[in-house]
Amino acid sequence: NAGVTQTPKFQVLKTGQSMTLQCAQDMNHNSMYWYRQDPGMGLRLIYYSASEGTTDKGEVPNGYNVSRLNKREFSLRLESAAPSQTSVYFCASRGDRGMKNTEAFFGQGTRLTVV
């Protein structure tokens, strides 16, 4: 049982390049999230998906797109990376009401640097 798995763990991009951050969970959770965390700050929600086939914007969605490929996978895409997107990105999934655990489980993060 791996929990929430993010790939890659580290990435350096040049300004204007695109890339996709991958996230997969094996806990059969409906809800999945993407956050970013800048130095010394809390996590800010970028996008979330309450269930397969649905996605919604969070606090800081500009410059990002997401895809809920299936129940397990939720990807985050940067179409044209900017230095302001240098951050640590966390994916999370959460148990739903009626499940034994409703807490959120987080991946280990992707450290992205845009130069």
Partner 1 sequence: DAKTTQPPSMDCAEGRAANLPCNHSTISGNEYVYWYRQIHSQGPQYIIHGLKNNETNEMASLIITEDRKSSTLILPHATLRDTAVYYCIVRVSGNYGQNFVFGPGTRLSVLP
Residues engaged in binding partner 1 (CB under 8 A): 4, 31, 33, 35, 37, 40-45, 48, 50, 56, 58, 88, 90, 92, 94, 96, 102-109
Q: Residue 2 class from Cβ within 10 Å (0-12 exposed, 13-18 middle, 19+ buried)?
A: exposed
Nearer to partner 1 by C-beta: 14 or 40? 40
CB of 104 to partner 1, least distance (A): 6
Q: Give the max Cα distance, the chain.
A: 45
Nearer to partner 1 by C-beta: 13 or 90? 90
CB of 113 to partner 1, least distance (A): 14
CB of 107 to partner 1, least distance (A): 5
What is the C-alpha to C-alpha distance for residues 39 and 57, in angstroms, rounded to an integer? 22
Nearer to partner 1 by C-beta: 85 or 90? 90
Task: Compute φ and ψ for 27, nearest 5 degrees.
Answer: -110, 10
The residue assigned the tokens 């890659």 is 8
Nearer to partner 1 by C-beta: 6 or 85? 6
Confirm if 46 and 76 have CB atoms less than 8 A apart.
Answer: yes
